[in-house]
Amino acid sequence: MLTTSQPTISFEKFSAKIRPLLTRVYSTEQIDVLLPRLFELTKASLKAHAREDLGKWDQDKVLLITYGDSIVGEDTSPLQTLHQFLNTHLSDTVTGVHILPFFPYSSDDGFSVIDFLEVNPELGNWADVEAIGRNFNLMFDLVANHVSSQSEWFEQFKHNQLPGRDYFISLPKDTHTAEVVRPRSSPVLTPVETHGGIQHVWTTFSADQVDLNYENPDVFLEFVKIILDYVGHGARYIRLDAVGFLWKSLGTCCIHLPETHAIIQAFREILQMVDPGVALITETNVPNRENLSYFGDRNEAHMIYNFSLPPLLLNALMQGRADHLKTWMMSMPPAPIGCAYFNFTASHDGIGLRPTEGLLEAQEFNTLIDTMRNFGAQISMRSKADGSESPYEINISLFDACKGTAKGIDQWQIERFICSQTVMMSLEGIPAFYLHSLLATPNDVEGMKATGRNRSINRHSWDKVELSQRLADEQSPQAIVLKELSRLIQIRRQQKAFHPNATQYTLHPENPAILAFWRQSVARDQSIFSIHNLSDQPHKLELSALNLVNTDTWMDLISGAPVDDLQAVYELQPYQSMWLTNHPYYDRSNTPDHRDLEFLYEIE
C-alpha cells in the first residue's frame, strides 16, 4: 500500500472534491456513511498539492500488450520469462507493458477474477510484476464490472454471509431484460443454487462472471481499495475493463449510464489526490460517439481505446482504398487537454465490429467478414434486443488477417502487415502493440480447438526455445517483423511531431489508395507527412501536391533518403510508407541501416 507519515488533505477538502460526484450515484444518507470510510482508506496516500499532471506522456511512450504467459520456458516462471524477453528484445523499443489480468481466475483467460489482490501462482508473484515495473511502466486491469463465481465474495453471497451477500444483483427469473445491450449471446440472468434456494444473478458476459452491484456503496469502496493496492505495486496505467456496463437500471440499455460515468470520475478524482501521474484508461468497445463520451469534461478517462481503428484500417487494406478510414479520421476531434487516444490494431480480444456501425455499408461489411473467414477467422456473435444475432468481432491473428485482400491470398503479407502498424503508430495518440503483432504470430488453430473458444486463435503461448530459434532465423516472419517494427518504433519515439497530442490533419490525394495525413509538433518546429500506399499495386505520389515548404530541407525518416526535388514524382511500392519531415530528430547510430529494408521496398 501507499503510505505517508500523516494525511496531507483534510477530510473537509477531500469531501468537497468527492461528495459532488457521489451525489449522482448515492443518497445523502449513504454518502454520509461512505465518505469517512473513503477518507480513512485513502488518507495515508493523499497528497496536499496533487495538481493535474499534463506530462504523463510524450512521443517517447509506446506500450506493449501481453499475457503473463505469452512466452513460457521450463527454467523460469512465465512472468520472469516475459521480463527476460522484454529486456533482451524490447528494452529500446517499448516503454510500458500492459500485463493482461495476472490474478487467480476461473475462466476467460484471466477476466473472471477470483482474487483481485493476488498474483496467479502459475505466472509468478508480486515480486516478478514489480521487477518488470522497474524497467517498464506497468498497466494493470481493473476488472470492475464482475467477479468470478468462484470468488470469496460470491461464496459469501451463496451462503448469505457478509459482505458478499449484498455485492450482487438477484432478480426474478422472468424479469424483462430485452433492452439490455448484450456483448454475448448468453442469458442476462443465470440461476444459482444458494443457501436460500435458486436465485437468478446478473451475468453480462458469462455464467462464471457475475456482475457486481454498485448500488451498494461498499462495492465502490472495495474497488477504491483495489486501485490503491495496484498503485502501490507500481501501476502507472489502470485499465477499466468493460466499464461501460458498470451500472444497471431496468428499463434501460444498461450501458453508458450516467452513474457509470460518475463512478469513473470519482475513481479519477481519488487517483488525482493519491498520484496524479497514474492514468485511467477506459475499455469500451462501442461505436465512436459512445466511446468519446468517456473523456467526460476532461474529468473522466485520461485515455480511451481507439476501437474504430482496427476494423477500419483492416478494411482499408482489404479494399485497397482509404476513404472510410479518412472519413473516420476527419470525424475524430483532437483529444482534450490532459487526455489522449490509445491506438492499437490488435489485442487479446478479437477485432470489434460495433465501432464500424454507420461507417461501413452492409455489402462492404459482409465482404470484410467473408475475407477474414477465408483467412481462417472465426466470427463471434452477440444478441440484439429483438432476439436476433449480429457479428460482434472477428477472431483472427492480425498477421494472418493480412494474408491478402478481398481478392484473395497474395505475396504481400509482411509488407501489408508492417504498413498497418506504421499507420497506427503515426496517428494522434499513444501506440500500443500486441506482443503477437511484434512477433508475427499466425492463427493458433490448435489452441482454439483445445479451449473451444474463438478468442484463443489470437492468444498463442510461445515456447521460449522455439521463439528464440525463429528470431535467430533472419528469414523467418518473426525475425523480419520484429526487427523492422522495432526500427520504426525507435525512429518514431524521437519525433516531436508524433507527440500523442500533436496536430493531425487529414490530406486528400486524388488517388484513393494513398492515405496521407500531416502531423505537426506542439512547438510547430517539426512537420511529418505520413504517407501510405494501402494497395497491392504501385502508385505515384506527386510531392507538389503536399505543398512542402521549399525553404526547408526534407527527408524520409523510414528510408533515410533525402528529398531534394519537391516537384518529384515518387512511385510508392505496394504497402510502402513514408514519413517526410523537415526536422528529423533521428539518431541513426541505434537503428539498422535503411538498406536492410530492400527486401520490403525498392529504395533508390
Cα separation of 453 and 145, whole Å? 21
Which residues on adjacent β-strands are paired with residue 212? Answer: 168
Provide CB contacts within 8 A for 273, sequence distance 6+.
9, 14, 17, 42, 46, 47, 50
> Radius of gyration over alpha carbons of the chain, in Å?
24
> In angstroms, how far apart are the furthest CA atoms of the chain?
81
Write phi, then psi, for 78 (nearest 5 degrees): -55, -40
Cα separation of 328 and 25, whole Å? 34
Provide CB contacts within 8 A for 463, sequence distance 6+.
71, 72, 73
- Beta-sheet strands, E only, within 521-558: 527-533, 539-542, 554-556
Q: What is the 3-state secondary structure (H, E, C) of 397-421?
A: CHHHHCCEECCEECCCHHHHHHHHH
Is-cis flag, bond preceding 163, omega within 30? Answer: yes
Q: Which three cell numbers stand for residue 430?
A: 499513444
Question: Does an H or E element contain 577, and which?
Answer: strand 577-581
- Is residue 283 within 8 A of residue 259, CB to CB? The reply is no
Provide CB contacts within 8 A for 180, sequence distance 6+.
188, 204, 253, 254, 385
- Is residue 326 within 8 A of residue 367, CB to CB? The reply is no
- Is residue 243 within 8 A of residue 144, CB to CB? The reply is yes
Q: Which three cell numbers stand for residue 345?
A: 490494431
CA dihedral 140, 282, 502, 434 (to 10 degrees): 50
Give yes or no: 241 in active site: yes
β-strands 137-142, 96-99 pairing? parallel
Options 241, 349, 444, 556, the catalytic residue: 241
The DSSP call for residue 61 is -
Residues in the chain: 604
Question: Does an H or E element contain 374, and which?
Answer: helix 362-374
- Is residue 353 within 8 A of residue 393, CB to CB? The reply is yes
- Beta-sheet strands, E only, within 146-234: 146-148, 170-171, 189-194, 197-202, 209-211
Provide CB contacts within 8 A for 542, sequence distance 6+.
569
Cα separation of 37 and 219, whole Å? 12
Q: Which three cell numbers stand for residue 590?
A: 541505434
User: Any idea what the Cα angle at residue 423 is, between residues 419 and 429, rounded to 5°?
Assistant: 150
Which residues on adjacent β-strands are paired with residue 98? Answer: 65, 139
Catalytic residues: 241
